[in-house]
Structure 1
Amino acid sequence: MNTTTGEIPAITSSKPVQRAWAMYDWANSAYNLVITSTIFPIYYEAVTSVKSANGEVLNDTVSFFGIQVKNSSLFDYSISAAYLVIAFLSPILSSVADYRGNKKFFMQLFCYLGSAACCGLYFFKRDTLELGIICSSIAALGYCGSLVFYNAYLPEIAPENERDRLSAQGFSYGYIGSVILQVICFIFVLKPDWFGIKDDSFAPRLSFLLVGIWWFGFAQITFFKLPKGVALPTQPSHGVLANGFIELKKVWAQLKQMPVLKTYLGAFFFYSMGVQTVMLAAALFGSKELKLEQGQLITTILIIQLVAIAGAYLMAKLAATFGNLKVLLFVLFIWVGICVGAYFVKTAMEFYVLATVVGIVMGGIQSLSRSTYSKLMPVTHDTASFFSFYDVTEKLAIVIGMMSFGFIDSLMDMRAAILALITFFVAGALILYIAIRRQTAQKMAVGH
């Protein structure tokens, strides 16, 4: 059996289980859209800025536990902190999950933590900044923590030839579900008078509460169907805290024997710095740099979400024809163009056009990155540990990307910060090209 791209024995590949797995994207993507991308960043910027009558920002400095900091930089740093924590925790918990066969338990734990934190954002007002930042960070922790174990199920419930399709299906479910809830929240936020709402902060805060309920509720479909997993016959020879990192070390030792997968992860590390930062900073950029109104911003993000559904399936189809790595390389060149375009964009219409392009490549690169990793993985039952390595790579990339973005923003502005992201995409493209060359050479060697 080929240990580089061999088949990982699936616990089950039944369609009901696969659909239930994909439904978790439906459940948690509401967080990603409403909290990460649209209403929360807009609300956050509104309650932490002092503006003139014409919308000019007079003061965007806030006090966080007595520390004076630019509001957008604080947002970037708080998200970075959450991802740094999960980058440390996921190896430990993934090791426990592999040995005890309880991925579902940890997936549930982080899901409930994140959804509860979203509900806690209902209490975030101008005079409770610290509560808002803490809850948003915990929500981010719950979101990305649950995804470690969610992603680890992919090679266990689908054979290799179904993973691109199933990964795209999950993202598509997520985009559809999140748009449905976004439209509901959109009505509350833009038409509060329809419901007799007088407090300007109530509708956004109600949206945060609805996200928590939506996430928790629809996740039950996933948890009802997903298998619990199978415990490994041997137990760790080291303590729980140490064993997770020892497992990562073992994964790294295997990766060194697999040049294509190792090089791909290097490319993934660099381009994730750019992709995730663009996604996390998009709404704040539109609000601060282009001075777009709330309705315009939410419309923009809805465009991204809807187009991303088609993007995820389009990239899966292209990957079947041209290969995953080549399609990813092509997409990275588009991301470079997006960064250049963002630097020069001035009007709402230009922002809408750019958002459409972002949507096409955003859905594709996320879906294809996950399925590519699962296809390049070796044959193993330690799927949580392998996906923990993938997750740590992504989370450290986000930490560096967001910290760099926040730092450049604090020194200059968000346009300069976005332009600087080109460095990450170019580095990722160069490394990905090397991975393609190595994969081609490997296939030729096998052919001979």
Structure 2
Amino acid sequence: MFKKVLIANRGEIALRIHRACKEMGIQTVAIHSTADANAMHVRMADERVCIGPPPASQSYLSVPYIIAACEITGADAIHPGYGFLSENATFVQIVEDHGITFIGPSAAHIRLMGDKITAKDTMKGLGVPCVPGSDGGVATLDEARKVAASIGYPVIVKATAGGGGRGMKLARAASDMETAFTTARSEAKAAFGNDEVYLEKYLGAPRHIEIQVFGDGKGGAVHLGERDCSLQRRHQKVFEEAPSPVIDAKTRAKIGKVCSDAIARIKYSGAGTIEFLYERGEFYFIEMNTRLQVEHPVTEAIYDVDIVQEQIRVAAGHKMSFTQDDLVPNGHAIECRINAEKLPGFQPSPGRIATYYAPGGLGVRMDSAIYDGYTIPPYYDSLIGKLIVHARTRDLALARLRRALSELVVDGIDTTTPLFHALLDEPDIQKGKYTIHWLEEWLARETQ
């Protein structure tokens, strides 16, 4: 087992990794920018190394400084969390070239799934159902128009690199194609340095269903059911639950086996998530995330596993601690992402937290790295915490979530907590009847 793990991240996920390591008897190293000198994970880690000024490009994305921190402290492994360098194949290769273990999949698998066209082609070959679309990148507007005409409008133009909703534009009709195509390419170039795009059929009212998979790197793999992440704003997930209100046990087992078989065939190692659009009983692959997901706690709750510890265990060369037969879901779990943002416009709201009180009680988990007096810096993502609840049924989980939200106190800044109070009053949310468009349509009505 590793003796010392460097945590190449910040915020709640850095603290989450630290806690997993400490339970396994592993020492931790926190890297941080000058803006995060007083961050909770920095205060709790066994060792800490400042690697640069506030901009992420000069600190959390600085590969030479991160490698130097490993060498200075003697860390024998790096956990990247999510975001930053977690899906950067070049970083993984450099880490391995320095004799340090990367806690995650291989550079080859990150590259394979990092390009959406290659990922789609690979998944097709592995028997995973995919969204109808172009066979590869679309280089010209004329070509885009021909592809769109063949698969039928509406279509969505997507960047082959990156994610987070950037480089994605909808063309509802032929008259929209020129604007969608040119805008998607320019956004992709600016965000990812790669303006290649491809086309997919746009589904009218799908849900976003993702399957959590885990591989041992030797041809063994399991799935841990699905998460429903359909409540989204600008392609960013807001509210996640497991299991999905619309997936039954038979469907879960079927699509789960397709996904676990696929990653077993490529000898994938560690945690991964295969994401689908789901409509009228059909799954359509959209991408695979080769890392830990923000919403992993809802899966941990219903399967009673620690996914981060499992990542560490497998990266260290050990067998997975569970088999598919061991993985039986229990109850229902829901996660709300609490952001430091001012409603209704969702403007970032950094600043000093005057008072913080985390909700508790049976079935309540709060993953956050904030505390009384902590100052949220303006340089990074606005996520400040994840409130997760678990109960025997979905109705009980919703009731528990309502109670937990009423206990949560974050004074001194604005947060998105009121959004979830409002959502829980909506009949569609109570019944689980929503699609990936539901939240934006609801927000548009509420702000009129």
Q: Which band: TM-score by shorter chain?
A: under 0.3
Higher relative contact order (CA 8 A, sep 6+): 1
Structure in which a larger fraction of residues adopt strand: 2
- TM-score, normalisation: structure 2: 0.25
